[in-house]
Amino acid sequence: MDGFLLSRADRTLRTAGARSRYDSASAAITALADGDTELVVGALPFDPARRAALTAPDSWEFTSGPWQPGQVAELPPVRVARQVPEPAEHVARVGALVDRLRSGALGKVVAARSVVLASETPVDPETLAARLIQSNPRANGFAVDLTSAGDGFRGHSLVGASPEVLISRRGRAITCRPLAGTAPRRTDPAADEREGLGLLDSTKNLAEHAFVTAWIEEVLAPLCTELSVPDAPVLTSTHEVWHLATPIRGLLRDPATDALSLATLLHPTPAVCGTPSDLALAAIRETEEERRFYGGAVGWCDAQGDGDWVVAIRCAEITADGLEVLATAGGGIVADSDPQSELDETTAKLRTLLGALGAVVAE
């Protein structure tokens, strides 16, 4: 695919072509400021030291409501080719992180793992995005061409359905909806409700959540004349999991502060990285395989500075030939995390993508 799609509950952006490509947010911000383009779309990688995949599209269209893809084609069958790392190794990594969290300066770190799916015929990124959006039109569904990030990403795409908004800006008004703290959904309605209410009451999950809201408040407070960060999170859900969410609103001091700049200041939040940020990022670089665009941000920014950026979770990277799909999920680890439950949490989160592809990983 050569375009970009972001489907949100209130509106959808679809673009075609790439008039210019930028591998850094700063280059894209300069292009917007210089009047070289009216719109920039794309993805920021998890690791801010890596190349971004941003483009100035040839054409674009905003429509109201979630994307209506019409008749959606079948996706080809996929099989689990390998897991990276193997589940037992993920459990061991989380165990080692818990030891570090108990003894050191690290307060929270997010641990992620991947499943590589293989297909005999190409998986089409837009078809996968359509399936995800049909299954949950409230999610922030996306499909992004990663070519602008250069070697290793040409023709690759990132497809997902994120429940988490990093930053949205309309004029001076900004909103964020960070998530952190997770519990599984249950098929029995009473058990399901108990899981949700239990999450709202869980000291461990409330602590995981508070690291994220504290970070967002610290970054945004100096930039805002008004900032409202509720004291306690609310419950939200996807088909697969319950989450704690905090709706944050603010008014920018300087109307020139654009959405893409805000995204780069906020990213990576402790929802995907940890606290303190620099130590958590160092621990992730040491422990994990390169995250590429998983855990990054996907969105758009226009020449007025408005834009939407969602956290790149519940997503997968599809290779240029469409034959390999790398799905990744993670979870916040704190000193009292249980490694096996953390593995189960990533399995539940992976189900968003794997379910749309008709694949299963063993519990």
Residues that are catalytic: 108, 164
Q: Rounded CA gap, 344 and 241, in Å?
A: 11
Nearer to ligand ISJ, 295 or 307 (CB): 295
Nearer to ligand ISJ, 181 or 305 (CB): 181
Nearer to ligand ISJ, 131 or 351 (CB): 351
Q: What sign has the CA pseudo-torsion 186, 245, 271, 22?
A: positive
Q: Rounded CA gap, 75 and 225, in Å?
A: 48
State in angstroms the smallest separation of the CB of 315 from ligand ISJ.
8
State in angstroms the smallest separation of the CB of 44 from ligand ISJ.
15
Nearer to ligand ISJ, 91 or 272 (CB): 272
The CA distances from residue 357 to 73, 84, 112, 130, in Å, are 12, 18, 20, 12
Q: Rounded CA gap, 106 and 269, in Å?
A: 15
State in angstroms the smallest separation of the CB of 238 from ligand ISJ.
9
Exposure pattern of 192-219 as b/e (b: 16+ CB <10 Å)? beebbeebbebebbbbbbbbbbebbbeb
DSSP conformation letters of 54-91: EEE-SEEEEEESS----SPPPPPPEEEEEEES-HHHHH
> Helix, strand, coil proportions of the chain in percent (round to 5)?
30, 35, 35
State in angstroms the smallest separation of the CB of 54 from ligand ISJ.
22
DSSP for residue 187: S
State in angstroms the smallest separation of the CB of 87 from ligand ISJ.
15
Q: Rounded CA gap, 253 and 246, in Å?
A: 22
Q: Rounded CA gap, 260 and 297, in Å?
A: 10
Nearer to ligand ISJ, 72 or 206 (CB): 206
CA torsion, points 262, 110, 206, 240, in degrees to nearest 10?
A: 100
Helix, coil or strand: residue 315: strand
Nearer to ligand ISJ, 141 or 330 (CB): 330
State in angstroms the smallest separation of the CB of 67 from ligand ISJ.
21
State in angstroms the smallest separation of the CB of 47 from ligand ISJ.
14
DSSP for residue 236: E
- Residue 277 and residue 313 in contact, taking contact as beta carbons nearer than 8 Å: no
Residues within the interface to ligand ISJ (CB under 6 A): 110, 112, 164, 179-182, 208, 243, 271-272, 313-314, 329-332, 349
Nearer to ligand ISJ, 45 or 332 (CB): 332
Q: Rounded CA gap, 29 and 46, in Å?
A: 19
Helix, coil or strand: residue 226: strand
